[in-house]
Structure 1
Amino acid sequence: MSDPDNRCRLVLILPPNDDLEQQAKQLEEALSAGDVATVILPQYVRNDQQFQSVAERLVPITQAYGAAALVAGDSRVAGRAKADGLHFEGSNEELHDALAKYTPKMIVGAGGASERHRALEIGEAQPDYIFFGKLDGDIKSEPHPKNLGLGEWWASMVEIPCIVMGGNDVSSVVAVSETGAEFVALRTAVFDHSEGPAAAVAMANALLDEKAPRFEA
């Protein structure tokens, strides 16, 4: 197997699931099957107390497998669950405040970059990464063409790493890797896979090993 650090790596986004123990089991299966750089936990429609319980259960599992656990949106939940960082979507002022408050102790990445001007505004704040797409944007088998275009543009000119949202098919990792993006995010492609999360992660890494371009040292 090749070194995953020199090619596009996998980011997992947890889908909504009312059965926390089932989700914990699925997450362990996914993480045990191959390289995963990061896991992002969105709040969805959970209230703060429910989200706190989810984070406290899933963050340690993520970290035990060497992946970074990021909480989307709620810094208090992230802090109490001892997450590695925050996935942030908000105004420029709020992003600057979050970066000033939490870095370098925590990873702070930013989404909400739906076009180039907004992406450059986010980049000026110097987050740890920028995310192209929506956390629940995997509605088709292939990645959204706009996100691929933004990822390719960004990766060619900006040093801040980018994550591009993949589609709901594992094979979508190839199109994302070809943009030069450092990371590809998958959600239902892994957790709703017919053969299970472990098979999906193994397949994604095999495709990236075989087809992803290599980064220069």
Structure 2
Amino acid sequence: MTDAPQLYLMTPAGAQASALGPLLTEVMDRFPPACLRIRAGAEEDELGRLADLAREIAHARDVAVVIDDHIKLAQRHGLDGVHLTDGARSVRYARKELGDDAIVGAFCGSSRHEGMTAGENGADYVSFGPVGDSALYRGEPAALELFQWWSEMIEVPVVAEGAITRELINSLSPLSDFIAIGPEIWGEEDPLDALGLLWN
């Protein structure tokens, strides 16, 4: 565990590929992420276009691409894996379908037990959140104590996500391998500036 987590970038939910391309390129050139996650919310055809665009931009920069839940889309569009939003439930299935080399991540809310089960089932990383107050997530916020415990006891890398602020990044940096940022910047007038204020 280092003191400097890596950036885990999420696309806007329901994004249109044509509108996102130039902006995504600029953001990734300025702030190189370790992983790019395509968030669901668009129709399948649009998600497919987004997957192709994201793969092209990300792979040119040696960045892995995962997509929310869509195992078949990940296979069809040559993505690196999936981010499962239902905790540990689908981890074994995703691993069987995608193979050992794929990335399988699991969002586990604020549940230590769910996170441990996901890890035992073969998840490459576990994501907890929201870490701040957010109406976008079900359930209670994930407390700093959860990340503290996880970083001391569990080998599986951990991602912090949801309502990220500069203060939370400072608190989470020693305890997290990755910080996921997406909704925090895409709604702003200048996403690049917004990310700079959070991440620099």
SS of 1:31 mapped into structure 2 = helix
Counterpart of 1:161 in structure 2 is 157
- Of residues 110, 113, 116, the one that matches 1:114 is 110
Q: Which amino acid aligns with 2:120?
A: E
Say if 1:169 and 1:114 are closer, same or farther in 2 by CA, change over 3 A: closer
CA deviations over 1:21-57 (Å, ceiling 9, x no partner): 221122111101023111111112x222221122112
Residues of 2 paired with 1:200 and 1:66: CA distance?
A: 24
Counterpart of 1:210 in structure 2 is none
Q: Which amino acid aligns with 1:133?
A: G
Counterpart of 2:71 in structure 1 is 75
Counterpart of 2:9 in structure 1 is 12
Counterpart of 1:39 in structure 2 is 36
Counterpart of 1:148 in structure 2 is 144
The higher relative CO (CA closer than 8 Å, separation ≥ 6) is in 1
The reply to whether residue 49 of structure 1 matches residue 42 of structure 2 is: no
Q: Which amino acid aligns with 1:15?
A: P
The reply to whether residue 188 of structure 1 matches residue 160 of structure 2 is: no
- TM-score w.r.t. the length of structure 1 is 0.77
- TM-score w.r.t. the length of structure 2 is 0.83
- Paired residue total: 194
Percentage of pairs with the same residue = 22
Q: Which amino acid aligns with 1:186?
A: I
Q: Which runs of 5+ in 1 are unaligned?
A: 207-217
Shift of 1:203: 4.4
Say if 1:8 and 1:14 are closer, same or farther in 2 by CA, change over 3 A: same
Counterpart of 2:23 in structure 1 is 26
Residues of 2 paired with 1:125 and 1:25: CA distance?
A: 38
1:138–1:187 Cα contact (<8 Å) kept: no
Counterpart of 1:103 in structure 2 is 99
Shift of 1:161: 0.2
Could you say what the CA RMSD is over the residues aligned between the two structures, in angstroms? Answer: 2.6
2:6–2:33 Cα contact (<8 Å) kept: yes
Residues of 1 paired with 2:165 and 2:135: CA distance?
A: 10
Residues of 2 paired with 1:91 and 1:193: CA distance?
A: 29
Say if 1:66 and 1:26 are closer, same or farther in 2 by CA, change over 3 A: same
Residues of 1 paired with 2:171 and 2:8: CA distance?
A: 15
Q: Which amino acid aligns with 1:59?
A: R
Residues of 2 paired with 1:24 and 1:171: CA distance?
A: 30
Counterpart of 1:64 in structure 2 is 60
Residues of 2 paired with 1:138 and 1:36: CA distance?
A: 23
